[in-house]
Structure 1
Amino acid sequence: MTASSLIPIETIGTRILLIRGQKVMLDTDLAELYRVPVKTLNQAVRRNKKRFPKDFVFQLTRQEMSHSSRSQIVTLKRGHNIKYRQFAFTEQGVAMLSSVLHSPRAIQVNIAIMRAFVQLRQWLSSHADLARKLEEMEQRYDENFRTIFEAIRALMTPEVPEKKGTIGFRLE
């Protein structure tokens, strides 16, 4: 079974979040993908603290958790039903998980996740290039459009006819 057939990249891509200006995946999503309990995943991280520096993994604040929790049960309040604060793994943290979780599925899922991060990075850079090109075009054509708009405004402004003298005689 290949990594691409295991989990579609689009599925993984929807689970990559932007928190604290970093692209991360939450421990709950990773545990679901790896098919391990969240407790097991977090235990593995805690037992191997040296492998997970702060730029690889960080714990969410209660406020961040209330914004990121995705409860399927409508009656529950968002973020108030999670007993422990969640871990957020950066791309490097996800890569490090493969050295801690030793199952064949973990290896395949990790490959799929790394491909999703790469695809997301490529997508973002292509959109950044497009935005830059649009800005360049706006600057280049800005002066031309200004001239055109001035001409249109001049045509739209009604001309005030000069007052001509009255024709005929005036009787007083």
Structure 2
Amino acid sequence: MAKTNLHSLVAEQKILNRIYVIRNQKIMLDRDLAEMYGVETKRLKEQVKRNGKRFPKDFMFMLTPKEFENLRSQIATSSWGGTRYLPMAFTEQGVAMLSSVLNSDTAIEVNIRIIRVFTHLREYALTHKDILLHLAQLEKEVKGNTRDIENIFTVLKELIEKQSTIGPRNRIGFKQYDSEKI
């Protein structure tokens, strides 16, 4: 069971590493999705083009040359050097729609994992948004009292933002074992 949980965490981390923010939307690129689904990028694009009505602009869009260059510089990889065509960017809804277009067991399994990761990201963002709003409200209330309080809020905001990039933390402490099983 521990191996399954570890495998699941590794798979989720691989998915998280392939989610980018472009045009204020969380997206995944065609080449990353194709790799995870075990198909060629060319084949994935063919299926999307054949089923164009299923992919409106809020589900899938083509990156502009500038967006593509910015993304390449952020990722700092040279493996995209020979790309002829600009990549397709799929939003969460577009990834969900891919499951109806790519009908293999692998595609279905990967799609389920990706949708779960997107859901976790949304839940996590909502939780932190509430905390940041409360901090902002408190900050307004104590404004002008002391400089130390403002510094505390700055540090708290930095910690929350840093924590959101780190991911889930491991639990610490002692594990209680059933004495009959030992």
Q: Which amino acid aligns with 1:95?
A: A
Question: Which residue in 1 is equivalent to 2:132?
Answer: 131
Question: Which residue in 1 is equivalent to 2:58?
Answer: 55
Question: Which residue in 2 is equivalent to 1:163?
Answer: none
Task: Please tell me the root mean square deviation across aligned C-alpha atoms, in Å.
Answer: 2.3
Aligned-residue offset at 1:145 = 3.0
The alignment of Structure 1 onto Structure 2 pairs a total of residues equal to: 141
Matched, 1:84 2:85: yes
Aligned-residue offset at 1:61 = 0.8
Question: Which residue in 2 is equivalent to 1:165?
Answer: none
Per-residue CA shift, 1:114-166, capped at 9, x if unaligned?
A: 001001111111111111111111122225438x9xxxxxxxxxxxxxxxxxx
Which of 11, 14, 30 is equivalent to 1:11?
14
Contact 1:31-1:37 within 8 A present in 2 as well: yes
More helix as a share of residues: 2
Matched, 1:97 2:129: no
Query: Bigger CA drift: 124-133 or 134-143?
Result: 134-143
Structure 1: unaligned runs, 5 residues or longer: 149-172
Contact 1:6-1:109 within 8 A present in 2 as well: no
Q: Which amino acid aligns with 2:46?
A: Q
TM-score by length of structure 1 reads: 0.74
Aligned-residue offset at 1:5 = 3.7
Q: In structure 1, what is the Cα distance between the partners aligned to 2:140 and 2:122?
A: 27
Q: Which of structures 1 and 2 has the larger relative contact order (alpha carbons within 8 angstroms, sep 6+)?
A: 1
Alignment of 1:16-165 (within 5 A): 16-69=19-72, 70=75, 72-73=77-78, 81-145=82-146
The higher radius of gyration belongs to 1
Contact 1:65-1:85 within 8 A present in 2 as well: yes
Q: Which amino acid aligns with 1:86?
A: P
Q: In structure 2, what is the Cα distance between the partners aligned to 1:126 and 1:112?
A: 21
Give the 3 Å change call, closer, same or farther, for CA 50–6 of structure 1 in structure 2. farther
Question: Which residue in 2 is equivalent to 1:169?
Answer: none
Give the 3 Å change call, closer, same or farther, for CA 119–128 of structure 1 in structure 2. same
Q: In structure 2, what is the Cα distance between the partners aligned to 1:93 and 1:7?
A: 23
Per-residue CA shift, 1:78-108, capped at 9, x if unaligned?
A: x653101100001110000000001001000
Question: Which residue in 2 is equivalent to 1:151?
Answer: none
Give 3-state SS (helix, strand or coil) of 1:58's partner.
strand
> What percent identity do the matched residue pairs reach?
48
Per-residue CA shift, 1:52-73, capped at 9, x if unaligned?
A: 1111100011111111134644
